Amino acid sequence: MTAEPEAAEREATDEESATGGANVLGNKGAAAFVAPAAGLIGLFLVFPALWTLYLALTNMRLTGLAAAEPQFVGLENFLNAVSEGEFLNSLYVTLIFVLGSAVIGQAFLGFTLAWILRDWRGWQRQAFEVLAIVAWIIPASVVAFLWIALLDGDSGTLNTLSPVNVDWLLEYPLLSIIFFNTWRGTAFSMLLFSAALNSMPPSHLETARLAGASFWQQLRDVILPSIRGHILTTLLLISLWTFNLFTPYLITAGGPGSQTETLPIYIYNVALSNGRLGFGAAISAIMLVINLIIAWIYLRVVGKQDA
């Protein structure tokens, strides 16, 4: 008679103290605590972001008349962007890059590693994790050079080790940076998925196994649904990060030609090299919109799960 009411009782206590925390800090205290971070974010994050949106509507340039007296041009920049071949190419390159290195590369490899290593303990697991995480921690400039060294057409490690001699950065540039980014970011997905798999109650899997489910059935019916939220969050974060990543510039500078000119690199070239600040800002605004769409899709999918 006492067992069931206990569980419900604790819930009631939690409910009743839902506002208790507020009483500890107080609304004024909370405002004071939030203020410093809010100030920094507001001034150095939100403000520049909004300014970008404003700039996108002008014809501002780095030099010349338009630099001193930029004029409001409405949606002209956007229309130009959409019809400009380089922009569309850049968009295409970026999408391939995100799909290849983030969705397929990092998430898939990260999950596979998390799954394989889930039962490992001790030094083997540690060694693996450290390896993956160090790949993530080494500064970008160094990693960029490491991959240049690896892929160099004449004396790169890959070519010295393998019988064929391929100038990777010249012949397969997009593939190269996809591999680079997969290598770079898998650790993050691996860590998150490890935590997710750990939090899964073992009884779910055991029930499936006892019912005779094969490994793939277990994966599809028990594991993936139960960590669905984690999958989506991870995918969202790494997609956005990859979408906005500037590091490939350090390896290929967008080349050869514009074969690896992702949107961030395109903006850099357009704004700083070509001096078209207003136009560059418009591309940034389009990027922001695409990011919002991705996030919105994600929130809808997650929202459906909770409902």
Partner 1 sequence: MAKVELERLTKVYPGGVRAVDSLDVTIKDGEFFALLGPSGCGKTTLLRTIAGLETATEGTIRIADRDVTKVSAGDRDIGMVFQDYALYPHMTVEENVAYPLKVRKVSKDDRREKAAEAAGSLDMRELLERRPGQLSGGQQQRVALARSIAQEPGVFLLDEPLSNLDARLRLESRTFLKRLQKELGITTIYVTHDQAEALALADRIAVMEAGQIRQIDAPAEVYNRPSSLFVASFIGSVPMNLLDGVVEDGRVRVGSAALPLPDDASEHVSSGDEVVVSVRPEHTTVSETEEDESIGGQVAVTELLGTQYLVTVEAEDISAQGVTRHPPEIGAQAWVTPEPEQLLIYRRADGGLVGTPVIEDAKSEKETASAAS
Partner 2 sequence: MAASPTQTRTVQRVLSRIGFYLLVIVVGAFFALPMLWLIFAPFDRTPSLSVEVPSFTLANFTEMFENPFVLSSLRNSVLLSVITMLLVCASAALCAYALSRVAVPGRDVLLYILLLFSSIVTGSAAMVPIFQLMFQLGLINTYTGVVLVMAGGLLPAGIFILKDFMDTVPESYEESARVAGASSVQILKDIVVPVVRPGLAVIAVWVFVQVWGNFLMPFILLRDPAMQPAAVIMYSFYTSGGQADLSVISAFSLLYSVPVVLMYLFVNQRYGFRFHGGIKG
Where in 6-35 is the site for partner 1 (CB under 8 A)? Answer: 6, 8-13, 16-17, 19-20, 23-24
* Residues 60 to 119 in contact with partner 2, rule: CB under 8 A: 109, 113, 116
**Cα–Cα distance, 223 to 227 (Å, whole number):** 6
**Cα–Cα distance, 102 to 116 (Å, whole number):** 20
Q: Which does 307 bind (CB under 5 to 8 A by kind): partner 2, partner 1, none?
A: none
Site stretch for partner 2 (CB under 8 A), options 64-72, 97-105, 132-140, 204-212: 132-140
Cβ nearer to partner 2, comparing 182 with 208: 182
| 248 interacts with partner 2 by CB under 8 A | no
Cβ nearer to partner 2, comparing 1 with 202: 202
Name the residue among 183, 196, 194, 197 with its Cα closest to residue 133: 183
* For the chain, counts of helices (H) and of strands (E): 20, 0
Supply the minimum distance, in Å, between the C-beta of residue 271 and partner 2: 6
How far separated are the first and last CA of the chain, in Å rounded? Answer: 33
Owner of token pair 């009884």: 203
Q: Which two tokens stand for residue 229?
A: 């939220």
Q: Which does 8 bind (CB under 5 to 8 A by kind): partner 1, partner 2, none?
A: partner 1
**Cα–Cα distance, 56 to 74 (Å, whole number):** 8
* Residues 277 to 306 in contact with partner 2, rule: CB under 8 A: 277, 280-281, 283-284, 287-288, 291-292, 295, 299, 302, 305
**Cα–Cα distance, 302 to 62 (Å, whole number):** 43
Name the residue among 277, 294, 290, 292 with its Cα closest to residue 52: 277
Name the residue among 100, 114, 243, 246 with its Cα closest to residue 183: 100
Supply the minimum distance, in Å, between the C-beta of residue 21 and partner 2: 4
Supply the minimum distance, in Å, between the C-beta of residue 1 and partner 2: 26
Interface with partner 2: number of residues (CB under 8 A): 103
**Cα–Cα distance, 129 to 53 (Å, whole number):** 41
Contact 270, 276 (CB under 8 A): yes
Cβ nearer to partner 2, comparing 208 with 230: 230
**Cα separation values, 100 from 143, 172, 177, 239, 240, Å:** 19, 14, 10, 10, 13
Q: Which does 85 bind (CB under 5 to 8 A by kind): partner 1, partner 2, none?
A: none
Name the residue among 266, 263, 104, 255 with its Cα closest to residue 173: 255
Among 5, 9, 10, 34, binds partner 2 (CB under 8 A): 34
Contact partners, residue 171, CB within 8 Å, separation at least 6: none
Supply the minimum distance, in Å, between the C-beta of residue 17 and partner 1: 7
Cβ nearer to partner 1, comparing 20 with 42: 20
Supply the minimum distance, in Å, between the C-beta of residue 265 and partner 2: 7
- By CB under 8 A, name the binding residues for partner 1: 1-2, 5-6, 8-13, 16-17, 19-20, 23-24
